[in-house]
């Protein structure tokens, strides 16, 4: 177990909200998804407080990614309800959920490979402005977004890659580009699916620092395998195994839980 | 200009010059045929090359354009520009319905649905009383442009067909290089990501589909006036296959590829016609060679060689 403890001295109570009054931005009730007879997500009740970084961890096949797909409506739930920012989003289409400010990333880095970094970010900016159906106008009208797009790229350390095709960026940079694109939407809440998966150490550090910087004014829910990342970054951790929540709380609480040790930490992290 | 780079602008200049010179060198009716198919292929390329949608039933829209133009020009005595416009609208309306149905499915299923719907259009055209069945609609008058200029002369018709082709070609290019075009490309590149950015991807696909089918209808309508006939060949599924071949051969997702592909395929059909069934065999061989050896198509490979997008 790593000894990184920069957040460990923060006062935290058992899953009940740090100050007791934090607003719940995302809440699920008995969220369930079955594939035939296999129940991938089973009666999950999740409460994410506004302004926090919340981690979803668990061994492979625990249903974390399915959970993400359900929350962002990329997959319909078999049962259960989802509320986001005071609205029931259980029946909405994925694009509508994104428009409400709940924006996801993907496990495999999600960029538009044959477009430049600038164009990638601009696509997010362009959507918010709503002239994206104009097929009769020149794309030069999109130039108004260039300054903002450059600023966002600079923010994630991609200032030197503005005109590089996304496909040619190294893996860690692609993830940074993906985050810049997501940030361009100025989402209320970001869902990051394994933001550091498959990265080198430097890249992990860069992304962790980036997430630490962009959290201001936002809520982040992330699936993460790297426990040192979770420990350093996340306020609340929910542990899933076999589709159900087995523990919830801050890192110290969760890592002491015997069920968690048995199901996850004991085998995965040694 | 118009979103063309310098090299593309030069290529466009060459294309326009060729369109002007061609009827002096080649048989004008043949060149008109090439232009009609070039517009058809360019419309098809909008979907496959820039949205990533493979429509296997594009003959339906080309054919319906052909029938609508022929019928309205012959029975209502409409002027050619109106008849062709109605042909385009026919393609667009049919495209709206077919697109709305097919876009619910992805990839191969999308292709199969468009193929099935196009086959229904084919049988409709065989059976319907006003399409003339096996005979088609014959002796369609070219009429007078704006009710004034007679198009009986092949050269008069040629300039109209050339103008329609160039206008359609430029419009399709504008669509690709518009804010809408950027979203199209995003959908082609990574549709789930486009959705996660809040784009209602189905509506973008449907609009692109309708633009493409409108242009296919215009191309079909123009063709029926050029030849004075609308026949079952125009709606037959081999026509759908041919437009795939043209686009693939010329280069998917390239600007000029479909035009070059249309020229090569139509040229082969015309000049190899004495060899009968060998045309099909030759086409098959070329298709295989293309898929095996130069997947980017003629213009795609040329562009890669010169390091420009053509």
Give the residue carrying structure tokens 């159906």. A133
* Alpha carbons B212 and B222: distance in angstroms, whole number: 15
Close Cβ partners of A47 (under 8 Å, ≥ 6 residues apart): A15, A24, A26, A27
**A11 part of a folded domain:** no
Q: Using the beta-carbon criterion (under 8 Å), do B193 and A106 form an inter-chain contact?
A: yes
Q: How far apart are CA B179 and CA A142, in angstroms?
A: 7
Do residues A252 and A235 make contact, with C-beta atoms less than 8 angstroms apart?
no
pLDDT for the residue A130:
66
CA distance B43 to B244: 11
Does residue B4 sit at the A interface (CB-CB below 8 Å)? no
Domain count, chain A: 1
Looking at the predicted structure, is the pLDDT value of residue B131 above 90? Answer: no
Check residue B186 and give its pLDDT.
94
Residue B63 clears pLDDT 80, i.e. is over it = yes
Average pLDDT of the residues in A92-108:
89
- Residues making up chain B, counted from first to last: 310
What CA–CA distance (Å, rounded) separates A111 from A120? 7
Q: Is the pLDDT of residue B64 over 50?
A: yes
**CB proximity A94 to B under 8 Å:** yes
Res. A144: pLDDT tops 50: yes
pLDDT average, residue stretch B271-278: 81
Residue B77 is predicted with a pLDDT of: 85
pLDDT at A11: 40
**Yes or no, beta carbons of B199 and A95 under 8 Å apart:** yes
Spell out which residues of chain B touch residue A141, defining contact as CB-CB under 8 Å: 179
Backbone φ, ψ for residue A77 (5° rounding) = -80, 145
> Nearest-CA neighbor of B40 among B208, B162, B214?
B214
Residue A210 · residue A176 · CB < 8 Å? yes
Q: Which residues of A134-169 are buried (b: 16+ CB within 10 A; e: fewer)?
A: ebeebbeebeebeeebbebbebbebeebbeebbeeb
Examine the pLDDT at B168 and tell me if it is beyond 80. yes
pLDDT tens-digit series, residues A156-209: 888 899 999 999 998 888 888 998 999 898 899 999 988 888 778 888 888 888
Distance CA B167, CA B89 (A): 16
Q: What is the pLDDT of residue A264?
A: 62
Q: According to the model, what pLDDT value does residue B145 have? A: 79
Q: Which two tokens stand for residue B191?
A: 């549709």
What local confidence, expressed as pLDDT, does residue A22 receive? 67
Using an 8 Å Cβ cutoff, are A198 and A171 in contact?
yes
Contacts of B120 (CB under 8 A, 6+ apart): none
Closest CA to B182 of A26, A3, A133, A243: A133
Please indicate if any CB of chain B lies within 8 Å of the CB of A113.
yes
Interchain proximity A103–B194, CB inside 8 Å = no
Nearest-angstrom CA–CA distance, B90 and B87: 5
Domain containing A238 equals 24-268
B304 pLDDT more than 80: yes
Q: Is the pLDDT of residue A16 over 60?
A: no
Report the chain B residue with the minimal C-alpha distance to residue A72: B196
At A241, the pLDDT band (50, 70, 90 cuts) reads: confident
Do the Cβ atoms of A41 and A62 come closer than 8 Å?
A: no
> Around Cβ A225, how many Cβ atoms within 10 Å?
16
The structure tokens listed for B3 are 């979103």
Closest CA to B245 of B279, B214, B277: B279
Phi, psi angles (nearest 5°) of residue A237: -130, 130
Cβ pair B281, B269 in contact under 8 A: no
Mutation target among B1, B46, B173, B193 for the A interface, most CBs of A within 10 A: B193
C-alpha to C-alpha distance for B92 and B79, rounded to whole angstroms: 20
Q: 């509320």: which residue's tokens?
A: A83
Identify whether A242 is part of a domain: yes
Q: Is the pLDDT of residue B69 over 80?
A: yes
Residue B219 has pLDDT above 90, yes or no: yes
Separation CA B207–CA B154 (nearest Å)? 35
Give the closest-approach CA distance of B92 to chain A in angstroms.
16
What's the whole-number average pLDDT of chain B? Answer: 90
Q: How far is A42 from chain B (nearest CA, A)?
A: 25
C-alpha span between B229 and B32 (Å, rounded): 14
Domain positions in chain B are: 21-235
Please state, rounded to an integer, the average pLDDT across all residues of chain A: 83
B201:A136 CB<8 A: no
Residue-level pLDDT at A15: 39
Structure tokens at A80: 């259960």
Proportion of chain A above pLDDT 90, given as a percent:
26
* Interchain pair A95, B175: CB under 8 A: no
Q: From its phi and psi, is residue B133 left (phi > 0), alpha (psi between -120 and 50) or beta? A: left
Q: What is the mean pLDDT of residues B245-271?
A: 91
Q: Which of A63-67, A125-129, B76-80, B101-105 has the lowest mean pLDDT?
A: A125-129
* Among the partner residues B179, B189, B196, nearest to A139 by beta-carbon distance: B179
Instruction: Report whether B143 contacts B83 (CB < 8 A).
Output: yes
pLDDT bin (cut points 50, 70, 90) of residue B226 is very high
> What is the predicted pLDDT for the residue at B129?
84
Give every CB contact of residue B112 below 8 A, 6+ residues apart in sequence: B56
Phi-psi region of A194 (alpha: psi -120 to 50; beta: other; left: phi over 0): left
pLDDT above 80 (res A109): no
Lowest mean pLDDT among A48-57, A111-120, B247-256, B264-273: B264-273
**Closest CA of chain A from B177, distance in Å:** 5
Considering the domain boundaries, does residue A15 fall inside one?
Answer: no
């Amino acid at each position: 177990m790593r000894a990184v403890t920069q957040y460990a001295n923060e006062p935290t109570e058992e899953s009940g909200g740090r100050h007791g009054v934090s607003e719940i931005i995302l809440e699920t009730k008995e969220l369930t998804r079955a594939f035939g007879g296999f129940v991938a997500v089973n009666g999950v009740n999740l409460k994410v407080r506004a302004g926090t970084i919340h981690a979803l961890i668990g061994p492979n096949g625990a249903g974390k990614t399915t959970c993400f797909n359900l929350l962002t409506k990329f997959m319909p739930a078999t049962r259960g309800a989802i509320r986001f920012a005071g609205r029931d989003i259980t029946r909405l289409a994925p694009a509508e959920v994104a428009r409400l400010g709940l924006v996801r990333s993907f496990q495999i880095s999600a960029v538009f490979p044959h477009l430049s970094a600038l164009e990638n970010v601009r696509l997010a900016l362009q959507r918010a402005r709503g002239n994206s159906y104009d097929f009769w106008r020149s794309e030069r009208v999109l130039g108004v977004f260039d300054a903002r797009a450059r600023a966002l790229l600079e923010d994630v350390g991609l200032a030197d890659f503005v005109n590089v095709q996304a496909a040619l960026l190294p893996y860690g940079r692609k993830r940074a580009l993906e985050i810049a694109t997501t940030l361009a939407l100025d989402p209320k809440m970001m869902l990051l699916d394994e933001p550091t998966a498959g990265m080198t150490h430097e890249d992990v550090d860069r992304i962790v620092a980036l997430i630490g910087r962009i959290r201001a004014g936002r809520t982040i829910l992330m699936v993460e395998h790297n426990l040192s990342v979770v420990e350093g970054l996340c306020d609340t951790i929910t542990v899933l195994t076999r589709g159900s929540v087995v523990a919830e709380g801050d890192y110290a609480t969760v890592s002491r839980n015997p069920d968690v040790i048995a199901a996850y930490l004991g085998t995965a992290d040694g | 200009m118009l979103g063309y780079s310098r090299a593309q602008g030069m290529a466009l200049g060459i294309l326009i010059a060729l369109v002007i010179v061609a009827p002096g060198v080649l048989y004008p009716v043949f060149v008109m045929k090439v232009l009609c198919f070039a517009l058809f292929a360019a419309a098809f390329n909008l979907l496959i090359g820039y949205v990533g949608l493979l429509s296997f039933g594009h003959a339906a829209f080309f054919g319906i354009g052909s029938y609508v133009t022929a019928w309205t020009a012959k029975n209502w005595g409409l002027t050619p520009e109106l008849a062709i416009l109605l042909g385009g609208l026919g393609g667009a309306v049919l495209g709206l319905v077919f697109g709305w149905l097919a876009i619910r499915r992805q990839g191969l299923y999308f292709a199969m649905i468009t193929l099935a719907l196009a086959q229904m259009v084919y049988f409709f055209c065989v059976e319907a009383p006003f399409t003339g069945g096996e005979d088609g609609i014959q002796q369609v008058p070219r009429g007078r442009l704006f009710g004034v200029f007679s198009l009986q002369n092949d050269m008069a018709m040629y300039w109209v067909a050339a103008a329609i082709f160039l206008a359609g070609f430029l419009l399709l290019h504008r669509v690709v290089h518009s804010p809408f075009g950027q979203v199209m490309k995003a959908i082609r590149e990574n549709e789930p990501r486009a959705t996660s950015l809040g784009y209602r991807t189905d509506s973008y696909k449907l609009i692109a589909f309708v633009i493409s089918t409108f242009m296919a209808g215009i191309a079909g309508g123009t063709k029926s006036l050029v030849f004075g006939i609308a026949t079952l060949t125009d709606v037959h599924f081999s026509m759908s296959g041919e437009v795939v071949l043209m686009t693939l051969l010329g280069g998917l997702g390239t600007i000029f590829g479909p035009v070059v592909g249309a020229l090569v395929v139509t040229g082969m059909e015309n000049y190899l016609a004495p060899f009968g069934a060998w045309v099909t065999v030759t086409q098959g061989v070329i298709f295989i060679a293309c898929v095996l050896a130069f997947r980017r198509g003629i213009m795609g490979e040329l562009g890669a060689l010169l390091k420009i997008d053509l």
